């Protein structure tokens, strides 16, 4: 290409040189004066008689036209790109607005689920506390009944024991009392009988006291045993009820998570459908203008390529 251009420039220089020599000849021979000679006329006459000169002039004109077409092509391509960019910006803005609407709906639904879950969890906790309180009262009542029953049993045992002691000591005590009343006793004998009666009564009291202490100790042991047994049973029941409460809460949480996932999936489908529809509508709205610009760019590009092809052919003719 550079070699061809160099040859064209060489031809043009030769043409100008010949034209100058012709002008010099005309002036020197007196055929024409410098004032009356039209250089352009001489050059046109020369080009008319010289095919190579005509080709060079045509190439020059076509190159100028080619530059104009290129500038026009770039300008129209810029307009087309700007139009497409503006359309894409509008599309993205509207799609972002649509996306924001769906995201807000998802967020609202999520908040509803969270509020519902918190209410459910608080309800279950309150229900658990109430059930525990009822169970505890029931356990305490049952424990008190067992302890009171055990006390009644021990009281009866003590009463029976006291009656047994009374029966055991009654005859002997009564015998001594009758002797004190019926017999003529010396002071020493009377004192001896009274001491025996006092001794028997004291022995009876000591036996009763020992039995009471034994029964109180047994009552404390039995009460502690029953209390420990009931506490263990109640703790086990409490743990079971707490685990049941946690299972219900976790089940509700899982249900809410699945509901949220399903809602999100549903919203994504609706979002994609609306975005596709909206993009299609916006594209259709600007389609005619873009098609006109694309056709114009295509036409200018074809003209540009045609000029390039014509110039290449002319350059080959000049080289020949």
pLDDT at position 315 is: 74
pLDDT at position 33 is: 40
pLDDT at position 9 is: 42
pLDDT at position 253 is: 95
pTM of the model: 0.51
pLDDT at position 29 is: 41
pLDDT at position 281 is: 80
Q: Where are the domains of the chain?
A: 50-319
Q: Is the dihedral of CA 46, 49, 55, 59 positive or negative?
A: positive
pLDDT at position 53 is: 63
pLDDT average per 10 residues of sequence, the chain (320 residues): 40 42 39 40 44 70 77 77 77 85 94 95 94 90 89 89 82 79 80 84 86 87 88 91 94 96 94 86 73 79 80 72
């Amino acid at each position: 290409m550079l070699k061809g251009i160099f040859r064209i420039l060489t031809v043009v220089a030769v043409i100008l040189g010949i034209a100058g020599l012709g002008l010099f000849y005309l002036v020197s021979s007196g055929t024409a004066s410098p004032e009356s000679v039209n250089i352009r006329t001489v050059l046109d006459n020369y080009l008319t008689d010289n095919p190579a000169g005509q080709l060079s002039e045509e190439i020059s004109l076509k190159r100028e036209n080619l530059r104009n077409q290129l500038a026009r092509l770039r300008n129209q391509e810029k307009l087309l790109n700007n139009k497409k960019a503006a359309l894409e910006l509008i599309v993205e803005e509207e799609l972002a607005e649509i996306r924001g609407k769906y995201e807000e709906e998802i967020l609202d639904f999520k908040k509803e689920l969270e509020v519902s879950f918190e209410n459910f969890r608080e309800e279950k906790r309150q229900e658990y506390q109430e059930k525990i309180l009822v169970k505890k009262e029931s356990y305490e009542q049952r424990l008190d009944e067992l302890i009171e029953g055990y006390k009644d049993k021990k009281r009866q045992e003590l009463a029976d024991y006291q009656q047994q002691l009374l029966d055991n000591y009654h005859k002997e005590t009564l015998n001594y009392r009758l002797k004190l009343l019926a017999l003529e006793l010396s002071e020493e004998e009377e004192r001896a009988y009274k001491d025996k009666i006092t001794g028997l009564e004291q022995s009876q009291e000591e036996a009763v006291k020992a039995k009471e202490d034994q029964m109180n100790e047994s009552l404390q042991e039995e009460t502690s045993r029953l209390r420990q047994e009931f506490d263990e049973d109640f703790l086990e029941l409490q743990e079971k009820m707490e685990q049941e409460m946690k299972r219900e809460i976790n089940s509700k949480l899982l249900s809410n998570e699945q509901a949220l996932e399903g809602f999100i999936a549903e919203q994504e489908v609706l979002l994609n459908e609306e975005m596709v529809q909206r993009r299609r509508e916006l594209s259709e709205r600007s389609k005619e203008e873009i098609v006109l610009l694309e056709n114009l760019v295509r036409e200018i590009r074809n003209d540009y390529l045609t000029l390039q092809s014509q110039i290449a052919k002319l350059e080959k003719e000049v080289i020949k």
